[in-house]
Amino acid sequence: MAPHVRSITAIGRLTALVVALGTCCWLVFSHESNVDAAVYQPISSDANLEQLVRNSGLVALGKSVFEDKNLSFKRNMSCATCHSIKAGGTAASDIGNRLVGVHAGSSFEGFDKPPSHDNAMGFRNVQTSTYVAFSPPLERVLQNNTVVFEGGNFWDGRATGFFTGRSSQEQATQPPIGTLEGQLPSPACVVYRVLNPSNPKSYPIAYTSVFGTNITRVVWPSDIESQCTTANGSVSFLSKGRNFTSNSQVQLAYNNIALSLMTYEGSQAMSPFDSKYDQVLQGKAQLTSSEKRGMDLFNGKAKCASCHVTTTNAKGLRPLFTDFTYDNLGIPRNPANPIYRSAWINKKGQDWVDLGLGGFLLTQDNYRDDAIGQMGKFKVPTVRNVDRKPNDQFVRAYMHNGYFKSLEQVVDFYNTRDSKPRCKNPLTPVDAAMEQGCWPEPEYPETVNTAELGNLQLSKADEADLVSFMKTLSDHNN
């Protein structure tokens, strides 16, 4: 099975459901602490994030789901496992970041064992969950007669937002049932466990308190837990005459759960805009001389702001430090990536290449003709929280494949990618490349961006100032 087949299929099932059922219901809390004061109101298909985060019940439910380890195959992995706020919304595993730089699955047993369904390891680095909820749906646009894609979620844009109008909501539907992530066999398993939490106190706001009681009409299989703990299994609703009703209610509930996750991620808890940089914008703090020089470089000579935009949008939203586009930065292959040893999903061995957005577009009838020009391109992430760590010794992994292990390495690569010689070995690890004064060849060379990075002619002092400025983008929330 391809790594994302199960999760993309689930999204497809939601399409007909959204069309058939139109809008779902939610609860608006007239008083944050008074659940009994809730009244049903239809949620508009174009309700924006600003409106959603005002619903404290929806945010609270999303937080409970985000932190629930039971929503994975072995009940050992939550969203927070891979998206730690203290690590800037990225992987909390220092060892994993150091050794491989990509995420592991619920059935992960150890880096010393061959990757398999029973020892699942992914092939991409964990994207930050902070500020991700602001990403619009995927869209094809023309810029100076060049096709550019904006929006969507995941490194390859496969959470398009086409079905719900919210790319982050669709993103949230995929990890729990992803073959290399949560590994649950069906969305029904997630819904059942949210409705029947092993620790009810972990859900101070229940699903039914937010979305109503329609889901209680579902006739659950008597062996639902057994079905949810069967590898590569599925959940069957066998009650005659209730098949469509149960399936449709479960799919709608799964979509609702994803909406709560998106709302939590877009709330003050995950995206608070409370970094030092934000305090500077409010006149409550001042940049040091190094940070100020770094900001000037970021907006000028270093060309960072070309993609990591620093302007306030038309609605007054503070800078998100991303233009939501896709780019090929010429990142080398990560020799520690488990994908090269994952014969169960990769038959090409070390010849495997991550095609990014282009690979996803090949699966889309409407965009297949655009795929070649988008090969090797990956989502431009926000650089908010790009250096946030739980402690100074903690190692983070950077870029789509986790090749880099520090922000300093990333900045040096942007600056010298094309001025340093090529490493003789295309699978040279980053520490060895830094020591040898070379960079390995790009994973996908044909579409590399040579206009905005590669030979910026920055000094070592300039690089240090850039890092100093980006450190000011770390939030202070816990």
Sequential pLDDT tens for the chain (478 residues): 344 544 444 445 444 444 334 444 444 433 333 343 344 455 666 789 999 999 999 999 999 999 999 999 999 999 999 999 999 999 999 999 999 999 999 999 999 999 999 999 999 999 999 999 999 999 999 999 999 999 999 999 999 999 999 999 999 999 999 999 999 999 999 999 999 999 999 999 999 999 988 999 999 999 999 999 987 778 888 655 445 578 889 999 999 999 999 999 999 999 999 999 999 999 999 999 999 999 999 999 999 999 999 988 766 779 999 999 999 999 999 999 999 999 999 999 999 999 999 999 999 999 999 999 999 999 999 999 999 999 999 999 999 999 999 999 999 999 999 999 999 999 999 999 999 999 999 999 999 999 999 999 999 999 999 999 999 999 998 7
The phi-psi region of residue 283 (left if phi > 0; otherwise alpha if psi is between -120 and 50; otherwise beta) is: left
Which residue type occupies 450?
A: T
Alpha carbon of residue 113 to chain centroid: 26
Residue 180: predicted pLDDT: 94
Whole-Å CA distances, 299 to 28, 306, 360, 467: 41, 8, 32, 13
Which residue type occupies 55?
A: N
Question: Cβ atoms within 10 A of the Cβ of 221, count?
Answer: 17
